Structure 1
Amino acid sequence: MQSHYLAGAVPYPEEFARLYREKGYWIGQNLSDFLQECAEKYPHHIAIYCEDQQISYKTFNLLVSDCAENLYQLGLRSGDKAIVQLPNHHAFYIIFFALIRLGALPVMSLPAHRFSELNSFVEQTQAKAYFCADVGAQKFDYRELARKLKSMHHALEHVFVLGESQEFHAVAALLETPELFQPSQYSASSPEQVAFLQLSGGSTGIPKLIPRTHDDYLYSVRESSKICCLDETSKLLMVLPAAHNFSMSSAGALGIFYSGGAVVLGTDPSPAQAFELIRKHQVTDVCLVPALVRPWMDKAAKDKDDILSSLRCLQVGGARLADVVALRLIDEFQVKLQQVFGMAEGLVNYTRFDMTKEQIVHTQGRKLCIDDEILIVNDEDQPVPQGDVGHLLTRGPYTIRGYYNAPEHNLRSFTTDGFYRTGDLVRLREDGCIVVEGRAKDQINRGGEKIATEEVEQALITHPQVKLVALVAMPDEVLGEKSCAFVLWQSQPDDPSEFRRGLILKQYIQNVGLATYKIPDRIEFLDHFPYTAFGKIDKKSLVKKFEIQQVS
């Protein structure tokens, strides 16, 4: 069954694949048939709201077939790779499913990615096609990027542009009904095969490529939609990048499609624009990263707006939400909060709606599947006692067994028996809930004392004047490493000096009760934070910007 498995991808061992089929996790459906089934079940329901357009499931499915045929006539074939870097527009979903229907493999890219990332994706996959917008944020011209990529990679034959296409193919033309239609010449890959390549969500370096199969991905989608209680009346506002794994499957757009609900696409995550869309479309669900939560709360509080309480659910994922912010969402804004802790490589944890307030505020929930295997180990890969912090390892019916074309990296990231080393530091409570304590690489070793950055950040964010914080390591000749906290301060008319603010925060941390060595050695105040393409604080950029490695 796996004899034609995608070269460069690591298949599931046959004994595990057989188990997952026997237990009903893998039902033998590919993503193309998944959409076809949704269209047959909900033909006249609206699937997508995009600007002033609304697209029914029936129309959605027909547009996908038209697009697949047009791509076929232009020369794309089963097994070809295509980089998809599109904004939040209905064309994104049509092209994604059209490539799947054709048997080609979408390579997911985010609008914030630039030449370094795109060049790596093309090199790794020998992509034949590239889909992009004409101009993006800060007037960045993706067509210039496309020209550079084409000049360097002969394999890249086709560029498709949403908007003013210039010398390239126009995405709009792909959505037109072809003059000649011969769909029998192609078909989606089989369910156990790799469907597309998702991106790792690490905060530094070039993202690695994650091969997701139809079977494993759709299991996660189906189960997530049940946990998230989605149904035909659900309307999900999408202001995060549509290609992000959180946006796609937790439960995301695919969970909405499975349930017969609608995705409301927004291009601006600012609260003013988002609140307008929530009201216009009577949105029921929103997914956000923690960095967006505070400005949304501030806007709602300033305007005395009850918009957040009108939602059935506010999902927060991508990074840990500070406990104090979670508590404020529930107590002050009456939000039905759901915390999501997952990774594009597989494992997803959710807080459930029937959990206690304490569990929803202070944990990142329970695993999706009973057969998600979780190990929490120390630096020597030995299990830690119940409740202790350790490295999270996992394997299961929707967690990959290796990155694409990365044999050396796979030796470091996966155990010999197939457990994925997530890089997360967590503890597992007796109630089965997981608590994220940080990233292993975010640990600061201060003279032999280990500082979990998450713990200090959680303490600092409880100060009423601190809006956002990131703790990073800086080299030190004596201690090896010291800590530096970058802080976004809630300005007031009578603000003390930055020096005085730093003293206030250090005293505050001491009063909280953290160990003396955990008090930041240095505190820097920022007007704004840099973010990675995945919406996480870019700590590497902070280190580089302030050159703190040169400060003792």
Structure 2
Amino acid sequence: MIDGLVPWPDGLAQEYRRAGYWLGRPLGDLFEESCARHADRVAVVCGERELTYAELWDSAQRLTYGLMELGVKPSDRVVVQMPNIPEFVVLILALLRAGAIPVLALPGYRRVEMAHVGAHSGAVAYAVKDAFGGFDFRRLAREVSFSGHVLVSGDAEEFVALDALAGAPRELPSVNPSDPALFLLSSGTTGPPKLIPRTHDELAHLMRATARAMGAGPDLVYLAVNPVSHLAALACPGVLGSLLLGGKAVLTSSVRPDEVFPLIEREKVTVTSLVPAVLRLWADSGRQHHDLSRLVVQIGSAPLDSALATRARKVLGCGLTRWFGTTEGFLAHTRLDDPDEVIENTEGRPLSKADEMLVVGPSGEPLPDGEAGELLVRGPSTIRGYYRAPEQNVRSFTPDGFYRTGDLACRRPDGNLVILGRIKDVINRAGEKISPEEVERHLCAHPAVRDAAVVGVPDRTLGERTYAFLLLRTDVPSAAVKTHLRERGLATYKIPDRIITLADLPRTAMGKIDKKALHAQARGL
């Protein structure tokens, strides 16, 4: 056991294995078997490049030996900051087989975040693409001054050439499936990113369960539009899930409809994961005469207003399923056969029968269905604690293992989950509590509003005032927007005190709206 990890209780781990949720096998072994079973099939597509399963595993195995020759040992952490390219997939498989632990960093992270991630994880190596999106990651490696090896795909300059790294065959280490397979990073909206350990058992369960939920098998063709270092595109079922099943993973870093729609049609994509902002972009563009009928979109990571859900399904002609989840593990989703009302107005039900969710009041007391409170979750894919964060773990986890999501939620009598906002995001205006996400959903229902973000601003008289930042399709007076909210039946105290139009909404590296930046902007108005 690596120091700084919170272990699973032995009894609970055995229970999950007996029930079949956990396989008790390391991911490297599972991927090796899948690659042997589907050797001649296409595994990965990126632009004009294709890798069969045999080619993929051969590349991963040679890199495994090269990493071991370089001195990478079991349980060593290796920070991986790469875009959606085949080299990412090869490297992850190689690290899993070597028993090392990838620490997945988003391509948008820069010096501040990467210095923290490298130091906090104790990484022995840092792997990057030479340059991507006009940014030179070799320069970032120099700025951060990683103490270990810097592995570069492409022009390595003074660093280790990742693409040429190979070694002689040797005995491979045995890997404990209870150990971390990889570390993910929290969004970091409240401070430096936290390291989230995901074990081999947890991830194997997550990939299999999400694939079943999507009705996917070897015919799965998954399109990675979101960064593959994000859990959704990685393993829900994502790129790794498609490889586990014998399907095909299609990689792109573009969200532009004129580039992505022909790709979906050409590769016969069946599943992709999007954030609402990208779904809105696709819906606004229209189908452009492309056949998207075999596609099912998993939508998550941010609130989805029902008007957009309805419009996207109609305009794009594809299926849509809503997913609510945390990088810490819990997932709820709408089923493929759920009624329209459930898909458009709820986050669905828990992924697994073993997933537990509680809605609790301020004192931790369980609340009945229909009442709003904080959502607490635990289950076979939800972690027990962050890495090297004992104080944070006391705040974020209950003594009996429930994770405090920080989400304001209620469970309907039919078992479907409704997310109302974030506990800490609730605006207190003259004693009246306002959920920003509720107001945002109503704002986005206006035909002129492309996107919206609502924040609270300190006020001497009211405690807080409500500011709404809008991204518009067409100009519309603020008074007309307020009239729209009143006509939708929104309480008077929830009507924003001020409406500000922006050319774009600031976003975090995870692609979510950056409320911290908007708070700062609002205070300066």
**Shared fold by TM > 0.5?**
yes
2:268 matched residue in structure 1 = 282
CA distance in 2, matches of 1:66, 1:59: 11
**2:354 equivalent to 1:363:** no
CA distance in 2, matches of 1:356, 1:203: 34
**2:90 equivalent to 1:84:** no
Matched letter for residue 488 of structure 2: V
Matched letter for residue 217 of structure 1: L
Matched letter for residue 144 of structure 2: L
Q: CA deviation at 1:45?
A: 1.2
**Matched-pair contact (CA < 8 Å) for 1:230–1:255:** no
Q: CA deviation at 1:550?
A: 4.6
- 1:124-156: per-residue Cα shift (whole Å, max 9, x none)? 11111001122222x222111101222xx5xx2
CA distance in 1, matches of 2:515, 2:401: 30
Q: CA deviation at 1:40?
A: 2.3
1:23 matched residue in structure 2 = 19
- Given the two structures, how large is their TM-score scaled by the length of structure 1? 0.92
Q: CA deviation at 1:306?
A: 4.5
Matched letter for residue 515 of structure 2: K
Matched letter for residue 200 of structure 2: H
Map 1:294-309; keep pairs closer than 5 Å: 294-300=280-286, 303=288, 305-308=289-292
**Matched-pair contact (CA < 8 Å) for 2:265–2:290:** no
2:161 matched residue in structure 1 = 170
Map 1:257-272; keep pairs closer than 5 Å: 257-272=243-258
- 1:69-102: per-residue Cα shift (whole Å, max 9, x none)? 0111111111211100001000101111111111
Which portions of structure 1, spanning 4 or more consecutive aligned residues, are displaced by more than 4 angstroms?
A: none
CA distance in 2, matches of 1:517, 1:306: 45
- Given the two structures, how large is their TM-score scaled by the length of structure 2? 0.97
Matched letter for residue 134 of structure 1: D
Map 1:438-449; keep pairs closer than 5 Å: 438-449=421-432
**2:452 equivalent to 1:509:** no
**Matched-pair contact (CA < 8 Å) for 1:32–1:188:** no
Question: Is the alpha carbon distance of 1:333 and 1:431 closer, same or farther for their aligned partners in structure 2, counting shifts above 3 Å?
Answer: same
CA distance in 1, matches of 2:113, 2:187: 13
CA distance in 2, matches of 1:120, 1:53: 34
CA distance in 1, matches of 2:417, 2:104: 28
**Matched-pair contact (CA < 8 Å) for 1:346–1:399:** yes
Matched position secondary structure for 2:131: coil
CA distance in 2, matches of 1:407, 1:307: 51
**Matched-pair contact (CA < 8 Å) for 2:41–2:52:** yes
CA distance in 1, matches of 2:374, 2:497: 26
- 1:310-358: per-residue Cα shift (whole Å, max 9, x none)? 2331111111211111111233433211111111101111211121111
Q: CA deviation at 1:225?
A: 0.6
**Is the deviation greater in 351-360 or in 327-336?**
327-336
Q: Can you give the 5+ residue segments of structure 1 that lack an aligned partner in the other structure?
A: none
**2:196 equivalent to 1:196:** no
Map 1:120-135; keep pairs closer than 5 Å: 120-135=116-131
**Matched-pair contact (CA < 8 Å) for 2:43–2:56:** yes
**2:129 equivalent to 1:146:** no
- 1:224-262: per-residue Cα shift (whole Å, max 9, x none)? 111111122221111110110011111211221122110
CA distance in 1, matches of 2:62, 2:110: 30
- 1:344-392: per-residue Cα shift (whole Å, max 9, x none)? 1011112111211111111111101111111101122111221111100
2:391 matched residue in structure 1 = 408
Q: CA deviation at 1:282?
A: 2.1
Q: CA RMSD of the aligned region, Å?
A: 1.5
Matched position secondary structure for 2:504: coil
Count of residues in correspondence between the two structures: 525
Q: Can you give the 5+ residue segments of structure 2 that lack an aligned partner in the other structure?
A: none
CA distance in 1, matches of 2:486, 2:427: 18
CA distance in 1, matches of 2:340, 2:256: 28
Matched letter for residue 216 of structure 1: E
CA distance in 1, matches of 2:284, 2:367: 40
CA distance in 2, matches of 1:287, 1:32: 24
User: Of 284, 305, 311, which aligns to 1:322?
Assistant: 305
1:181 matched residue in structure 2 = 169
Matched-pair identity in % = 40
